[in-house]
Structure 1
Amino acid sequence: MRSLRTGSALASLVTGLALLGTAPAAHAADTPLRDLADAKGKVIGTAVTGSKLTGTYGDIAGGQFNALTPGNAMKWGSVEPVRGTFDWAEADRIVDFAEAHGQQVRGHTLVWHSQNPNWLTNGNWTPAQLRQLMTDHIATEVGRYKGRVATWDVVNEPFNEDGTYRQTLWYNGLGTDYIAQALTAARAADPSAKLYINDYNVEGINAKSTALYNLVRSLKERGVPIDGVGLQAHLILGQVPSTLQQNIQRFADLGLDVAITELDIRMRTPSDSARLAQQAAEYRQVVNACVAVSRCHGVTVWGFTDSDSWIPETFPGEGAATPYDENYAPKPAYYAIAEALGGTTTPPTGACTATYSVVNQWNTGFTGQVRIACEGASLSSWRVNWSYGAGQRISQAWNADCTQSGTAVRCAHASYNGTVPDGGSVTFGFNASWSGSNPVPTVTLDREI
């Protein structure tokens, strides 16, 4: 779970462009988020996919955030898929990128019940062997990035919802003390790194967060190295806990740092202006709660763009959970974050977009779809244009009048769907043939017919 989207064959076949001739496209806040956060002594971070750190994705990741978390690249299954054989390529890429852009790195994660290699989960280990495997892994990974990774999520998700310990390879094999052993090993590997325990559904005061509170208080009393608590904050629209700031404060009162480590706020899709406005208010609420507590280290969003979010694949029919849309345009949530960090913003007056996607593909053909959506703008008529680059040919269309001349395709609205209101959308589809390859075309959307 919570893997950043790496992109399936079909999911990656999506493109969109803002409406030509409308108000200016959405733009960033007057001051980058990272500068606003720096001024408050806070982190504003994002989880990233290392292979995507180029182009617009890389520009936003490097320009807007002062910290990066590898979404998957530092998990055990990624770095040691075969026992004794290591793959550090993507993790190195992220750390190198962060250093080149003056950013901190949050290492994620060392000891977890999920995304472990098969050789580890399927092994028949004695407690002594399992303990050695765990501490050797921590020594190897933390040691590799000693002095380069500021913070580690050492233990991830140790609790069930009722506050009991989760039955895992680690708990079943080593008992509750695996947590102290992992933290101790991490401190030995890099004495300067901050060490955290990280979990979800612990944002408000409840049975699970109280179990985490009791654990970290006990660890501190025992002298086990523990610097902070991570509240993941995978939230649902309308369900931000009212006790969030109070909960952050009670952990801080133990002498611990607190971080919001994996923030996203999901909604039913497609989104509309009302839901996006509510989402913005809730992003502001979360960031405000962190800003209000001096020992809240900062906030990391779990992917900054909807095109790199884990939500749609895990919760079908839900998504739009991040501060940027799939076309890298900042959403109202982005501006709310900026304002909570003390910034001033000049939000765009709105735009309409056309998003092209392949919804089904077979040996010689495919079904395509174009969705036209407006936020802060509207249309009374529309036309969509694109050019195919590999000989694709449209054979049939519905909900639009489509013609193709050579490589050029032009689709105009039908008699019943030319109007697209603010917050609304229309969709048309088509069947087409392809041979050899089916690259994504660049789409333009015109207001005038």
Structure 2
Amino acid sequence: MSSVKRCRPTSTRGLPALLIGALILTGGSATAAQQDTLHELAAAQDTLHELAEAQGKYFGSATDNPELPDAAYSAILGSEFGQITPGNSMKWDTTEPVQGQFNFAKGDVITEFAAQHGQTVRGHTLVWHSQLPGWVGALPPAQVEAAMTRHVTEEATHYRGAVTAWDVVNEPFNEDGTFRTSPFYTAMGRDYIATALRAARAADPDAELYLNDYNIEGLGAKSDAMYALVRELLDEGVPLDGVGMQAHLAVQYGFPYQMRANMQRFADLGLDVAVTELDVRMQLPADTAKTATQSSYYRQVVEACLAVERCVGLTVWDYTDKYSWVPSAFPGQGAANLYDENLLPKPAYSAVRTALGGEDDGGEGGEPGVLKAQYRSNDSSARDNQIKPGLQLVNTGSATVSLSDVKVRYWFTSENGASAYSTWCDWSPIGCSTVTHRVVAAGVPKTGADHYLEVGFRSGSLAPGASTGEIQLRLNKADWSNFDESDDYSHGSGTSYADASKIVVYVGGEQAWGIEP
């Protein structure tokens, strides 16, 4: 997507959310002294988009029509972000609810808002299996292609010049990399994707055309399927400019495996990459550990995009918990966004600012560390007489970390109340002589976690971007009785290293990574 220089109203440019809200609640009036103070604050703090723009990227937010009458919300949306994506107002059930009868009124509200605030718009979405009006699914297969082509043509033509990029086809794959069943795939097979892209290009030659999906952020079966598809499309001369990675993440799951490398392989095909729907949800209630992990995930996504030249920008899936889709889609989960329900920035906001090169604005709590833990199981059986975790630490920050300040905890259960253990470091490239290890009884035993293996370091340091490499660990009970690791909190069955949120890292006594049991 081409970079578009923004011009913002000077009255709210870069203002912190709390100050914008205060101005709106007073009708936007302020004394001369207050105005001077506000402008000084605005000049002192760049917005997220301005920080991203300095790095050659954009930073945006999704929005939707019901939110826009909220004046405090709209003030932040219009000042902090350089790009917006309509959550629902450009989807098929809204724009063509009856065959051949188009209604673009809601989408027009979004594009007009963007034009007023100097923002670009990402169109979302032309072809998707969900939120279809009933008449589409009722069409005979022989009529689907013509209906789809007309829909794409009408909508892309209407928004020509107002939309800079389109999610032309959304979520074409199942989790295992097979094509998702939809009226379009049933009627045309995988050719529906090429047909939709060609129709979009004909209707708007200047818009960037994307395929968009979730759970393709890291390397895996689904992203491999997307990679194979786009290679085939490019070989066939089908118009395609980029791949959108939604990035709906959750702290209870590991961070996407090798996100940067995955982005880069798409970029190496000559495609742009965009993070299109970023949020990081958690099981409620939120706590310090979950918030720290959330901040780390947000930071890592930003850093991955910054490291890949053809990653053009990032969009959060609405910026505030007040209007998040998560609680309704994932009962018991939430707190997924950069701002809380009162439109105040959270620690994740500070983490994003810092990753973009800005100064920490003092968002509550900040970010406690820059290390992450990765884990693989080195044990062929979960029910033998030893536990064999493989661990490594990665410095994802920009400063060197002293390993002597670091502790790592791996939680497990003893089953029979054992209190005496032996621990071993079998091999590590940093030298087992520098690695300390002991078993500690948990102060408050919890399900899957009545003891933990605590790993530390006598010396050494970890430079930015560096890894300790594998640390092969082993422990046994003094009586050599068997464990049952299957329900242990930190245990996993993966045999390749992956980010492990249930292994917790502390730096200088402060929790820097992971979720405690």
Q: Deviations over 1:155-194 (max 9, x none)?
A: 0111111111111111011111000000000000000000
Look up the SS of the partner of 1:69 in the other structure.
Answer: strand
Check 1:119–1:272 CA distance in 2 against 1; reply closer, same or farther (3 A cut).
same
Looking at structure 1, the residues matched to 141 and 299 of structure 2 have their Cα atoms a distance apart, in angstroms, of: 48
Q: Does 1:60 align with 2:112?
A: no
Q: Deviations over 1:321-374 (max 9, x none)?
A: 010111101001111111111111221467xxxxxxxxxxxxxxxxxxxxxxxx
Counterpart of 2:323 in structure 1 is 308
Q: Does 1:150 align with 2:161?
A: no
Q: Does 1:279 align with 2:294?
A: yes
Check 1:329–1:124 CA distance in 2 against 1; reply closer, same or farther (3 A cut).
same
Runs of 4+ in 1 over 3 A off after TM superposition: none
Match of 1:245 among 230, 250, 260: 260
Matches of residues 30-179 of structure 1 in structure 2 within 5 Å?
30-54=45-69, 55-121=71-137, 123-127=138-142, 129-179=143-193
TM-score of the pair, normalised by structure 2: 0.61
Unmatched 5+ residue regions in structure 1? 1-16, 19-26, 351-449
Q: Does the CA-based 8 Å contact 1:157-1:199 persist in structure 2?
A: yes
Q: Deviations over 1:187-218 (max 9, x none)?
A: 00000000000011111110110010000011
Check 1:146–1:348 CA distance in 2 against 1; reply closer, same or farther (3 A cut).
closer
Looking at structure 1, the residues matched to 79 and 260 of structure 2 have their Cα atoms a distance apart, in angstroms, of: 28
Counterpart of 1:324 in structure 2 is 339
TM-score of the pair, normalised by structure 1: 0.70
Q: Does 1:184 align with 2:198?
A: yes
Instruction: Quote the offset at 1:85 in angstroms.
Output: 2.5
Q: Does 1:235 align with 2:230?
A: no
Q: Percent identity?
A: 56
**Structure with the greater alpha carbon radius of gyration:** 2
Q: Does the CA-based 8 Å contact 1:30-1:345 persist in structure 2?
A: no
Q: Aligned residue pairs: how many?
A: 324
Q: Does the CA-based 8 Å contact 1:265-1:279 persist in structure 2?
A: yes
Unmatched 5+ residue regions in structure 2? 1-20, 23-40, 366-517
Q: Deviations over 1:200-251 (max 9, x none)?
A: 1111110110010000011111110000001111111142113100100000
Counterpart of 2:498 in structure 1 is none
Q: Does the CA-based 8 Å contact 2:347-2:363 persist in structure 1?
A: no
Instruction: Quote the offset at 1:147 in angstroms.
Output: 1.2
Looking at structure 1, the residues matched to 319 and 361 of structure 2 have their Cα atoms a distance apart, in angstroms, of: 19
Q: Does the CA-based 8 Å contact 2:281-2:334 persist in structure 1?
A: yes
Q: Which amino acid aligns with 2:327?
A: P
* Structure 1, 46-55 or 252-261: larger mean CA deviation: 46-55
Counterpart of 2:379 in structure 1 is none
Check 1:181–1:244 CA distance in 2 against 1; reply closer, same or farther (3 A cut).
same
Q: Which amino acid aligns with 1:217?
A: R
Counterpart of 1:411 in structure 2 is none
Instruction: Quote the offset at 1:51 in angstroms.
Output: 3.1
Look up the SS of the partner of 2:161 in the other structure.
Answer: coil
Q: Does the CA-based 8 Å contact 2:127-2:169 persist in structure 1?
A: yes
Q: Which amino acid aligns with 1:171?
A: Y
Instruction: Quote the offset at 1:124 in angstroms.
Output: 3.1
Q: Which amino acid aligns with 1:330?
A: P
Look up the SS of the partner of 1:91 in the other structure.
Answer: helix
Q: Does the CA-based 8 Å contact 1:51-1:90 persist in structure 2?
A: no
Looking at structure 1, the residues matched to 333 and 363 of structure 2 have their Cα atoms a distance apart, in angstroms, of: 25
Check 1:214–1:347 CA distance in 2 against 1; reply closer, same or farther (3 A cut).
same
Q: State the superposition RMSD in angstroms.
A: 1.7
Q: Structure with the greater relative contact order (CA < 8 A, sep ≥ 6): 1 or 2?
A: 1
